[in-house]
Amino acid sequence: MSRGPSTTRIALIYPELLGTYGDGGNAIVLARRLRWRGLRAEIVNVAAGSPVPEDCDIYLLGGGEDAPQVLAADGIRQNRAIARAVSGGAAVLAVCAGYQVIGESFPSGGEIHPGLHLVGIETRRSFAPPETPPPGRAVGDIVVEPDPRLGLPTLYGYENHAGRTRRLPGAGGVPLGTVQRGIGDGDGGTDGIIDGRVVGTYLHGPVLAQNPALADLLLSWVHGALPPLDGPPETVALREARRRALAVS
Ligand code: GLN
């Protein structure tokens, strides 16, 4: 259901800490796809360390390295703005470090740090028995077949992470999709989570530039039905990502 905002407010959380992989582009994509439809959008840059505002419609958390990721989680935890906004109908897109942060806990510097407890996942270097060497960093193109209930086409991106993620028993939501190529969660062939209006994924790209249907799904949650968009349904970024992912390597 639409929250009916006249201007859709898109919060880009701590881009100084969670901007390493260009995921700030997701904010630009969302704002552009609204403006191309004659709708109003505002990107709210939430500077690292400042309290997260509660009055935004979409919250974006990007990827980052281990130490900045801890700082980001600690800063966001100053208040419960994202959780409260989600209860009020806001959406979240969390990518890689952001995905790990919205869960229960994640590793950094040999320690386990608490996450934001927005979704029932946990991240570790490995879930294999202790005597097994941890898996290497997951780096490269990734192709994900989304849960059919989402009505989305195949998702394309790239991944670059050391962590492996699993859903906790009894957790809400469903995996975002199944991995056709790449690693993703690295625990059973899935990538990401979709729990209500909270989406987590390992896909960089930025993921919304390469997968405009996912951008429109998020926008429709907070805006209601969207007017059709003139122009080609596919972006250049999607075509290029698909070409790269399907190329014989
Ligand atoms: N630091 C995390 C990891 O390596 C996330 C990396 C990222 O956001 N790309 O697992």
Rounded Cα–Cα distance for residues 122 and 38 (Å): 40
* Residues across the chain: 249
Residue 29's nearest CA partner among 89, 93, 76 is 93
Q: Which atom of ligand 1 is nearest to the CA of 204?
A: 9
pLDDT in tens, the chain (249 residues): 444 448 999 999 999 999 999 999 999 999 999 999 999 999 999 999 999 999 999 999 999 999 999 999 999 999 999 999 999 999 999 999 999 999 999 999 989 999 999 999 999 999 988 898 888 999 999 999 999 999 999 999 999 999 999 999 999 999 999 999 999 999 889 999 999 999 999 999 999 999 999 999 999 999 999 988 876 666 788 888 888 887 744
* Mutation to probe ligand 1, out of 100, 102, 159 (largest number of atoms < 8 A from CB): 100
Return the H-helix or E-strand segment holding 104. none
Q: Which atom of ligand 1 is nearest to the CA of 163?
A: 10
How many degrees, rounded to 5, is the angle at CA 156 between CA 15 and CA 240? 95
- Ligand 1 center from residue 96 Cα (angstroms): 6
Q: Is 54 in the pocket of ligand 1 (CB under 6 A)?
A: no
User: Model-level pTM?
Assistant: 0.94
Rounded Cα–Cα distance for residues 121 and 132 (Å): 22
